[in-house]
Each structure stands twice: as structure tokens, then as C-alpha cells.
Amino acid sequence: MGTSMVGHILKHGYDVTIFNRTLSKCDGLKKQGASVADSPAEVAKVSDIVFGIVGYPKDVRKVFLDPDWGVLASLKSGGVIVDMTTSEPSLAKEIYDAAKLKGISSLDAPVSGGDVGAKEATLSIMVGGDHDTMEATMPLFEIMGKNIRHMGGAGAGQHTKMSGLDIAEAIRAVSAGAAGSWSISNLGPRIANRNFDPGFFVEHFVKDMGIALKEAERMNLSLPGLALANQLYVAVKAQGHGRLGTQSLMLALEQLNGINFC
């Protein structure tokens, strides 16, 4: 994904310095005009904004926080770091705090859309951090994506894929990415407003899933996903919500977890 994202930035005329732990993976971008550095710290020395997208939180920590090798070891005051890895909200906050001590701004901005979204510059980008920093970085975000949303403070971009955010904003962000679906786009806003008026009754859905499961058993098919969905909707019906819409599944999940989602 990173290769495609950097490629778009190069095409817009920006000077770009890159690093990859496997140097051979830099060859294609080098041919397009990128300079290649020996470490994230070397990238930071010659950059105003540093983007990172790696595999795991431990990689994020090393890339940004390593005292000798990482970005914060050499990025000058006034710079911006943007972690686009899907990582831990607590780590995003830790990076934000460490950057702030050095006069550096930090954003966590995980993406949705996969390789196709990266290649076509249609990624959904969910941004956590200071709003003015996001606005200053927006020209670069718009080169890489089409749906860019500010989700809140540091760590909020990462939380978008979990919980604890403004649900309406989360629905808009997720529906524009690879996880989007008809149900999210059409029923998500109703869920956000706790509108459980029926489009399709829960009791009818339970009936239909029961028929499908019986047929699957007759055909010796295993459909564990359908079986789980059926169990959850049976729980909704048992709560007395059989005449509500299928989006009322959230009511069963709220009861299981002992919380209200919105």
C-alpha cells in the first residue's frame, strides 16, 4: 500500500525521501524520483512531514520512538508525523505526547480500502489528533484518499475501528472504505439515532435463518457465521423485540456487554 501512496505524492511534484527495511522495495519509487534513506531518522532529517505505514504496533514504536533510529530522534521542531498503520490507540497517544515535547505535531490516520484503494487513491482515512494539524496536512491526505475524516484527539483514528467514538462519524468513515456495505450505509444512521422501526422484522429474519440452517444441515454444510447470527437475533427476539427492524441487533449486543453504544 505504501508504494502506491508514495507514488501518488511523487506524481504531484513533492520531494520525497523514503525508507524501507527491505531496500530493494524502494527501487521502483527511486526510479520515479524518490530519494532513499538508511533509516527513519535519516528520512526525518530532510523532511517537514513524515508518514509511516508498517505492519505491527512494535514496528510503529521502533519507527517513531527509537531514540537513535526513529523519526523523533531527528525531526525538527514544527514538523509533523503521521502514522497510517492500524495500530493501538494508546500507542498513538504515547507518540503524540512524545512528539509534543519536541514541538512536533502527530496524527494517527489508519486507512481502509486495501491495495485497490491505495492504487486508485480512494482510501478512507480516519484521523486522530489536533484538527489544525489535520487541516494543514489535508492536501497530502487528499492525494491518497477520497474520504478523510477527523475523528477526534490523539488515538481517535485508531479507535474508529473499535469503539468509543461519535457513532455517526464512525459510520460515515467506515461506510466509505472496504468495510462498507448496504447495511452500514442504510441502517447505520438509524442505529446512530436509535431508530429501530422495522424495514424487515426480526421475527421474520429469525424464521428465514432457521430455514436456511435446516437446509444447510440437510446438505451437510457447516455455516458457523449464519449460526452465530441466528443466535444473536434469537436473543433480540427473546428480549421482546421481534417486531422491530433487523438493526435492533444492537440491543442484544448492548445487553451482552452491559453498556449502551449510543
Full 3-state SS string of the chain: CHHHHHHHHHHCCCCCEECCCCHHHHHHHHHCCCEECCCHHHHHHCCCEEEECCCCHHHHHHHHHCCCCCHHHCCCCCCEEEECCCCCHHHHHHHHHHHHHCCCEEEECCEECHHHHHHHCCEEEEEECCHHHHHHHHHHHHHHEEEEEEEECCCHHHHCCCCCCCHHHHHHHHHCCCCCCHHHHHHHHHHHCCCCCCCCEHHHHHHHHHHHHHHHHHCCCCCHHHHHHHHHHHHHHHHHHCCCEHHHHHHHHHHHHCCCCC
Domain ranges across the chain: 2-180, 193-257
Q: What is the pLDDT of residues 24-56, one digit of tens each?
A: 999 999 999 999 999 999 999 999 999 999 999
pTM of whole model > 0.75? no
Kindly list the distances between the CA atom of residue 74 and the CA atoms of 14, 154, 160, in Å, as whole numbers in the listed order. Answer: 21, 22, 30
Structural contact between residues 95 and 52, judged by C-beta atoms closer than 8 angstroms? no
Q: Which residues are catalytic?
A: 161
The rounded percent of the chain whose pLDDT value lies above 70 is 97
Report how far apart, in Å, the C-alpha atoms of 255 and of each of 35, 223, 235, 249, 258 are.
54, 25, 10, 10, 5
Amino acid 175: pLDDT: 80
- Per-residue model confidence as pLDDT tens digits over 61-119: 999 999 999 999 999 999 999 999 989 999 999 999 999 999 999 999 999 888 888 99
Tell me what pLDDT residue 161 has: 59
Domain at 193-257, CATH from 1.10.1040.10, 3.90.700.10, 1.10.4190.10, 1.20.210.10: 1.10.1040.10
pLDDT at 164 over 70: no
Mean pLDDT of the chain: 92
Q: Which fold would CATH assign to domain 2-180?
A: Rossmann fold (3.40.50)
